[in-house]
A and B are shown apart, each in its own frame.
Chain A
Amino acid sequence: MEPQHYKDLYDILAHAQGYIFPNEIDLQWGILIVVYPFITGLVAGAFILASLERVFKVTILKATYQIALLTALSFLLVATLPLISHLSQPQRAYEIMITPHSSSAMAIFGFVYLWYLMVVLLLEIWFDYRHSMVLWSQEKKGVMKWVYKILCLGVTDISPRTLSWDKKLGYIITIIGIPSAFILHGYVGFIFGSIKANPWWSTPLMPIIFLFSAMVSGISLVLLVYMVISRIRKIAIDLSVLDSIGKYLFFVLILDFTLEGLDQIHRIYEANESFEILKLLVSGKLYLTLFVSQGLIGTIIPLITLAFLQFYRGRIKLRKTLYFIVGMLVLVGVYSMRWNVVIGGQLFSKSFSGFTSFKVGLIGLDGTLMAAFWLILPFGILAFLLWLLPPWKMAPEED
């Protein structure tokens, strides 16, 4: 008799090349773990764009300030769900918060996340919207009246003095918020960068690279959301807004590209014992997602296009279209970057002598449809938030 496990073993061995250890056949971290840093990055990036407006008083970007904050919130609410749905015991997920261990990077992340959600993002939005929410609660009838009353926690005082405090406190939150956003996403990079057994991940540059790619993706997302919202509301897209976001995107993308290049050059020059296998990895299994998708489509083409848009002041329609395409390409590039890190780091054997392979399933808790669901859900939440807290119906600012 030949037991099933031997048959399975033969099937599985067909996925491996060269020599790998038994526990490396299956990838423990699948597509949902790719989606998680992607979403967290969008949050941090969108928030940092909003903060730029506020701290450096970039008046042009006012139009996108609330959009950026609400986008950050919609994605932040979903950020942990891919992780939770990846667990085999999701009903126990909350235990990480109630019995955290200080040596667990993931447990501490729970608190970083909570801090960012409760103290930074919600508060900043609250201070920003309180005046309007009070006005809406006076205008509206029925349920909505009460919804807004509850949302402003019953603080209905809109005397100039109190309103000026909204501004001051909101500003303080923004100042706290910038390092918090850096920590939130730097932390995601840290979780990978601190895995010392994995030469593809283990580099102190990882948090910084993650942070800059986060900014790149968040800025692109806000750019796209702004364009789509304007389309839906049938108002003209303000080209100066696009130019201004595009300028930031251009500079941050250059920094991001430089940092990632630095990381690779360092790896190549150092050429330690893992180098041979990593060279095979990037020239083989990661070729498409690294060089084509992340490098060419996600970085080089957007960089050239953005450089061109810096001085090209010609046809408006063309410029708008180019910005839209650049935004999409950058998102594809950053998604590929997450893929290359998460999946790439698990494809080669720690014996440095072989590879396993990865196939994403379509269905199932760890499949493509699930990942797509977590990526689409935030847009639903965003639509709801924009309906509940429409930036274009806010109380006018009086300075």
Chain B
Amino acid sequence: MKFYLPPQISRLAIAFAVFITLFLVARHFLVPETFGQYGHYRGASLDDNAMPVIHFSGQQACLDCHQDIEDLKLQGPHKGIHCETCHGPGQAHVVSGEAKDIFKPSGREFCGNCHSSNAAKKKETIHQVNMSTKNPGKNCTECHNPHQPWKVKK
């Protein structure tokens, strides 16, 4: 019996070969130039990621000018909380050193963000107070120093 190759097969083989070649050619041109420079990603993406405006400076930057507050904070239960957790993004203020560029929290709700009682929060993780019965009408900072809450003014 003579070997018979159906015409469909040979034509499809050509079509697939063309498709795969096109794919490889396209791939050659489309793979970003810096791909694989450092790993399985586009090296230039590091620059892209460095471009956005910086909002947060990190706690270390605050300490150049406010070491006193950090020293105080380290003595109390808020020692693990960084400045910008409460004061918001601080890069603009780090650059300018002006009061208007930084948020100074006030009010009972602010402390309540973390301390208001919530059945779903674990008691061992954070101390909670009932906001409606805890010294109503008074600002928390009238008694507690936010940087060292156990320095209670009576």
B103 and A130 form a contact (CB under 8 A):
no
| Interface-lining segment among A24-32, A38-46, A161-169 | A161-169
- Chain A residues whose CB sits within 8 angstroms of the CB of B6 once the complex forms: 162, 165, 169
- Residues 97-136 (chain B) with a chain A CB within 8 angstroms: 100, 103, 118-122
B88 and A6 form a contact (CB under 8 A):
yes
Give chain B nearest CB distance to A119 CB in angstroms. Answer: 9
- Chain B residues whose CB sits within 8 angstroms of the CB of A81 once the complex forms: none
B8 and A169 form a contact (CB under 8 A):
yes
Contact A123:B103 (CB < 8 A) given known A6-B88, A99-B31, A101-B40: no
List 9 contacting pairs A-B, 8 Å CB cutoff, sorted by A. A18-B118, A94-B30, A99-B35, A99-B40, A101-B40, A165-B8, A169-B8, A351-B120, A354-B120
Is B150 an interface residue when CB atoms closer than 8 A count as contact? no
Which residues of A does B touch, CB under 8 Å?
1-3, 5-6, 17-19, 94-95, 98-99, 101, 118, 123, 127, 130, 153-155, 157, 162, 165-166, 169, 351, 353-354
Cα separation A153 to B17 with both chains bound (whole Å): 14
A162 and B88 form a contact (CB under 8 A):
no
Cα separation A303 to B121 with both chains bound (whole Å): 44
Q: Which residue of A lies closest to B32 (CB)?
A: A95
User: Which of A1, A95, A127 sits near B8, CB closer than 8 Å?
Assistant: A127
User: Which of B16, B19, B100 sits near A1, CB closer than 8 Å?
Assistant: B100
Give chain B nearest CB distance to A12 CB in angstroms. Answer: 12
- Chain B residues whose CB sits within 8 angstroms of the CB of A353 once the complex forms: 120-122
B121 and A169 form a contact (CB under 8 A):
no
Is B65 an interface residue when CB atoms closer than 8 A count as contact? no
Cα separation A118 to B19 with both chains bound (whole Å): 10
Contact A162:B8 (CB < 8 A) given known A18-B118, A94-B30: yes
A162 and B118 form a contact (CB under 8 A):
no
B121 and A155 form a contact (CB under 8 A):
no
Give chain B nearest CB distance to A167 CB in angstroms. Answer: 11
